[in-house]
Structure 1
Amino acid sequence: MSLKLGDVVRARVSGNELTVKKKLGEGTQGVAYLVEAPDGQEVVKWYFRTQATADQREAIERLVNRGKPRGGGGERFVWPKDIVTSSGDTATFGYLMPVIDTSRFVELNAIQAKRHPQPNIPELCRISYNIADSFSDLHLSGYCYRDISLGNLLFDPRTGEVLICDNDNVGIDRQSESAILGTPEFMAPEVIRGEETPSTITDQHSLAVLLFNLWMWHHPFHGIKEYQIRSWDIPAKTKIYGTEPVFIFDPEDASNRLPDEPGYITALKRWKICPPSLKKAFTTSFTRGLREPGSRVTEGNWKAIFSSLHDNRLKCGGCGAINLWSEGIHMMQCWNCDEGIAIPMRIVINNGMTRSALLVDEGRNVFVRHVRPTEEQRSKEPIGEIVRNPNDPSMLGLRNLTELPWIVSFGDDVQKEVPPGRSAPLNRSMQLNLGSGASASIEH
């Protein structure tokens, strides 16, 4: 039974009565309603009777009791808050969740339909980082999502903030079962073939498909093989996504290239301007990652890629468009106007675990994550800022924003302290000890 306007349902844990105010939408599992609670408006997802199984209720109760994933990424999940029941219909139930500001948070299809502006490149990097960060915290908390798809992702194109919805199919990794295996377009091939059930490893494939859609506005397997199919039924989807998946940009297998048709032009154009580091990650995901699930790009890898791309954005001097630099690029042309872009010198930071390259530009920061990559809580805290020398505007330096001195040398045995608040000049001979086993040097 669906609910009617004015019906009163009850939250199990809080005991609050909730009055149905408006129907918001309907999906395959149930109907979403806006309800009035004692402390404001919230949303109830009310299951159809066929979906209101004992297993589903147990799964929701588990999510309510365990709570959302730990960490900052966990806050982006619109998590079930309470079980909701009705005295008028004991055969079904629902769950309570917060209201989403849909005037601010939108789906990708609304962007593609030009109902909202596209995120610019820095915001697209933030959106992608935040998605990877959220699923990292989800998996580290022992959960697997099972149904990653574009329909469950909302983002603010102006700020890059992200919300992840429809979390009622989230389960305990490798433990709890679910009737939901995922959305075919995003499911890992081994799940479609019936060889595996959803897990954090299959989530990694779904995450890669999601990110590819965000950047290319296209599916990684929708090439000539998909184009030639006339009946888009279950056997067709099983073939394209499960038994014969081929990456449209596979460097060694050209059997599924994009057809020469208008509907495929956008993907080709966006791939051409995709930064090399991101191309490499997508290629790994949809070639080796299809055959060897254990070698898929991890959430941490994605976070590192998008952090680096966001750090290394360059503005075109001709048209002002933002371009993305990644290591290995020695010459750049603006994606928008084709004008050549000079690549500045780079600060290279080695911390014993990772190597980071950061383009030298006034106002740019070195962060804790560059120096101590395992320190998640303070990862976005700046430890250094690139500043201009007030006495010689042609010179740039790295200002120490920490509370401890740095040690710098310039190609000789003489070492000098860089106290907190002071700057080390940036030149090719600089060798800078940042503490915690991390060092910085200059490359050009």
Structure 2
Amino acid sequence: MKTITVQSINDKSKSYQFVDNGEPMRGGVKDVYFSPDKKYVVAIFRDKLDFNQKERLQKITNYYLPQIQSKEAGDYYLNEVYRWPTDIVEYNGLIGIIVPIYNSKFFFKKGYETSDLIQGKEKNGKWFAGAKFRNPKFPLKVAKSELGDWLSYFQVCVNLTRGVKKMHAMGLAHSDLSYNNVLIDPVEKSACMIDLDGLVVPGMFPAEVIGTAEFIAPEVLASKHLDKNDPNRKLPNRLTDLHALPILIYMFLLHRHPLKGGKVHDLDTEKDDLLSMGEKALFIEHPTNAMNRPKLDQVSKWDLPWADVNKLPYTLTGPYLKALFDKVFIDGLHNPMQRPTAEEWEIGLLKTTDLMQKCYNSSCEQKWYVFDNTNLPKCPFCGTPHKGTLPILDLYYQFKDAVWKPENHRLMVYDNQYLFQWHINRNTTRNEKLSTEQKVPVGYFTFHNNKWVLVNQKMTSLRDVTEDKEIPIGSMVELTDGKKLLLSKEEGGRVVVITMANK
């Protein structure tokens, strides 16, 4: 075992150390060594890099990294969403990159329910995307303590959408977004993108790989037989990221693949894969074309109940995500320009979390579900009906004097649900740039003396419009059917209209 010192290529005054015990961790193209203090790794490419590859790494570490550091929410991106390479080094004529170590939450504490085989291994997205690793009867089920609940995966997906949104805003594309290149921790509701040394800089550094099998966009697969310089050949870019991202979202929320269904195009498996993910790709839940529905007598028993699209259809993700899934897997599947942006996914995911209800069954695996807009809601996962009345708050904004328009945004109430600045005023956007102050709740809902009430914690101009009276800070207002509340008098302030469901 020896400690080796290497020098930075970007800044000759900097050096790094790594410990070589003769057995590095081997990635696809790199050997990975830990620094003595385990704060970073030195990942050395096994093959010599050409001028372009070296140039790309210099751009990523020297130009794009400072761009993230200097902008708003830089800490959030670099500590939470990315493991961004920070420097380039040379060792024995080979190029290496310095990457900060993964946060400890991204390593399994327990691993499998019944063995410690993957204990201490990284929490690659693959463990959480499929159905079998969460099937209680599967011999290698991931421990319950590692899986989180259904709501956790929404925040995981929000982190991923923000990561893609930021890259695209900087003019970059990921090119190989898949469950292998993200680490997730559902318990802490975290997700982090890794292996960021192959980013695509349009017009400068094209993609070096076409992607990972299940995540490659149909147009890339359908043209992969063409020469790289053929103008009809489609290579990974921003629009192919916008195909891979929703596949990840769909898999993390529904634990099945949106295009892998029952339709066989060719008896040769390789050709069949090429057609079913490429030229002939068809959404398994297409509302008017059922040709690719999964055939339950052909799916693995470990993939149930998630593989059953009749029992757990994609519509259970709520109206906002259903519309986005339709847009990407129906309209945009073979028409890349139609695909929703990463920001649209972020907004859809966050609005959906406002529709969440707690399941009343304490042994429900998922714990949460999206309100289905019926008068007698029940959990789609375990079938438990909602108990008691259910207040629904529809948000309205002032279009012009005395004209209020619906926002297409509603907030479902449950006991100890919070109200935030971004609910009461449309000029506050719920994104990564929120200040600490903006993240503090301004009120909360509770079931008190058999009544639903909103307790005002910080709203300076909360007003009961129906009864024409102010609700001062520290007091509460009862939620009743048809009641209107003005949440804020400031510009952008909203009114909510209350509907009581499940009466």
Name the TM-score, length of structure 2 as normaliser. Answer: 0.76
**Residue 357 of structure 2 contacts residue 414 of structure 2 at CA under 8 Å; is this kept in 1?**
no
Q: Deviations over 1:65-102 (max 9, x none)?
A: 1217453345410000100111xx22x20100011232
Aligned counterpart for 1:386 among listed residues 429, 445, 451: 445
- Map residues 203-214 of structure 1 onto 2, 5 A cutoff: 203-214=241-252
2:397 corresponding residue in structure 1? 351
2:229 corresponding residue in structure 1? none
| Counterpart-to-counterpart distance in 2, 1:291 and 1:384 | 45
| Counterpart-to-counterpart distance in 2, 1:64 and 1:179 | 18
Counterpart check, 1:374 vs 2:429: yes
**Residue 323 of structure 1 contacts residue 335 of structure 1 at CA under 8 Å; is this kept in 2?**
no
**Residue 219 of structure 2 contacts residue 334 of structure 2 at CA under 8 Å; is this kept in 1?**
no
C-alpha change, 1:45 and 1:401, in structure 2 (3 Å) is same
Aligned counterpart for 1:107 among listed residues 107, 113, 124: 124
| Counterpart-to-counterpart distance in 1, 2:267 and 2:41 | 40
C-alpha change, 1:271 and 1:286, in structure 2 (3 Å) is farther
C-alpha change, 1:326 and 1:333, in structure 2 (3 Å) is closer
**Residue 249 of structure 1 contacts residue 283 of structure 1 at CA under 8 Å; is this kept in 2?**
no
C-alpha change, 1:401 and 1:356, in structure 2 (3 Å) is farther
| Counterpart-to-counterpart distance in 1, 2:54 and 2:373 | 51
CA positional deviation for 1:108: 3.5
| Counterpart-to-counterpart distance in 2, 1:314 and 1:297 | 26
**Residue 151 of structure 2 contacts residue 368 of structure 2 at CA under 8 Å; is this kept in 1?**
no
Please give the secondary structure, in 2, of the residue aligned with 1:214: helix
2:136 corresponding residue in structure 1? none
C-alpha change, 1:96 and 1:182, in structure 2 (3 Å) is same
CA positional deviation for 1:64: 0.8
C-alpha change, 1:291 and 1:159, in structure 2 (3 Å) is same
- How many residue pairs match? The answer is 427
Please give the secondary structure, in 1, of the residue aligned with 2:97: strand
Counterpart check, 1:325 vs 2:370: yes
1:164 corresponding residue in structure 2? 193
**Residue 18 of structure 2 contacts residue 33 of structure 2 at CA under 8 Å; is this kept in 1?**
no
**Residue 40 of structure 2 contacts residue 99 of structure 2 at CA under 8 Å; is this kept in 1?**
yes
| Counterpart-to-counterpart distance in 1, 2:476 and 2:359 | 28
1:78 corresponding residue in structure 2? 83
| Counterpart-to-counterpart distance in 2, 1:271 and 1:93 | 51
| Counterpart-to-counterpart distance in 2, 1:127 and 1:419 | 37
| Counterpart-to-counterpart distance in 2, 1:18 and 1:423 | 60
2:331 corresponding residue in structure 1? 288
**Residue 33 of structure 2 contacts residue 43 of structure 2 at CA under 8 Å; is this kept in 1?**
yes
- Map residues 237-252 of structure 1 onto 2, 5 A cutoff: 237-252=273-288
| Counterpart-to-counterpart distance in 2, 1:198 and 1:21 | 35
- Map residues 198-347 of structure 1 onto 2, 5 A cutoff: 198-225=236-263, 231-233=268-270, 235-259=271-295, 260-263=297-300, 265-269=304-308, 272-273=311-312, 274-277=316-319, 278-321=321-364, 322-326=367-371, 328-342=373-387, 344-347=390-393
CA positional deviation for 1:203: 0.9
Unaligned runs of 5+ in 2: 110-121, 134-139, 224-232, 399-405
C-alpha change, 1:268 and 1:178, in structure 2 (3 Å) is closer
**Residue 184 of structure 2 contacts residue 192 of structure 2 at CA under 8 Å; is this kept in 1?**
yes
Q: Deviations over 1:377-397 (max 9, x none)?
A: 2364423211455xxx22332
| Counterpart-to-counterpart distance in 1, 2:2 and 2:326 | 50
| Matched residue type, 1:201 | L
| Counterpart-to-counterpart distance in 2, 1:297 and 1:272 | 27
| Counterpart-to-counterpart distance in 2, 1:385 and 1:237 | 50
Unaligned runs of 5+ in 1: none
Please give the secondary structure, in 2, of the residue aligned with 1:258: coil
Q: Deviations over 1:274-331 (max 9, x none)?
A: 3343444323321112133232233233223332343333333344532312453443
C-alpha change, 1:421 and 1:45, in structure 2 (3 Å) is same
| Counterpart-to-counterpart distance in 2, 1:205 and 1:93 | 32
Counterpart check, 1:400 vs 2:456: yes
**Residue 216 of structure 1 contacts residue 266 of structure 1 at CA under 8 Å; is this kept in 2?**
no
CA positional deviation for 1:40: 4.8
CA positional deviation for 1:231: 4.3
Counterpart check, 1:28 vs 2:55: no
Aligned counterpart for 1:9 among listed residues 6, 17, 26: 6
Please give the secondary structure, in 2, of the residue aligned with 1:281: helix
C-alpha change, 1:49 and 1:341, in structure 2 (3 Å) is same
| Counterpart-to-counterpart distance in 2, 1:287 and 1:165 | 29
Percent sequence identity over aligned pairs: 22
| Counterpart-to-counterpart distance in 2, 1:74 and 1:35 | 19
C-alpha change, 1:310 and 1:276, in structure 2 (3 Å) is closer
CA positional deviation for 1:246: 0.9
Please give the secondary structure, in 2, of the residue aligned with 1:221: coil
Please give the secondary structure, in 2, of the residue aligned with 1:420: coil
- Map residues 125-204 of structure 1 onto 2, 5 A cutoff: 125-173=154-202, 175-194=204-223, 195-204=233-242
Structure with greater strand share of residues: 1
C-alpha change, 1:24 and 1:382, in structure 2 (3 Å) is farther
Q: Please give the root-mean-square deviation of Cα atoms over the aligned residues, in Å.
A: 2.8
2:403 corresponding residue in structure 1? none
CA positional deviation for 1:375: 5.7
Name the TM-score, length of structure 1 as normaliser. Answer: 0.86
**Residue 11 of structure 1 contacts residue 96 of structure 1 at CA under 8 Å; is this kept in 2?**
no
C-alpha change, 1:199 and 1:93, in structure 2 (3 Å) is same
1:54 corresponding residue in structure 2? 51
CA positional deviation for 1:443: 1.4
| Counterpart-to-counterpart distance in 2, 1:316 and 1:110 | 25
C-alpha change, 1:331 and 1:294, in structure 2 (3 Å) is farther
| Counterpart-to-counterpart distance in 2, 1:351 and 1:174 | 43
| Counterpart-to-counterpart distance in 1, 2:447 and 2:416 | 9
CA positional deviation for 1:174: 5.7
| Matched residue type, 1:27 | G
Q: Deviations over 1:350-395 (max 9, x none)?
A: 2368332222223111223333253632364423211455xxx223
C-alpha change, 1:197 and 1:304, in structure 2 (3 Å) is same
Counterpart check, 1:442 vs 2:441: no
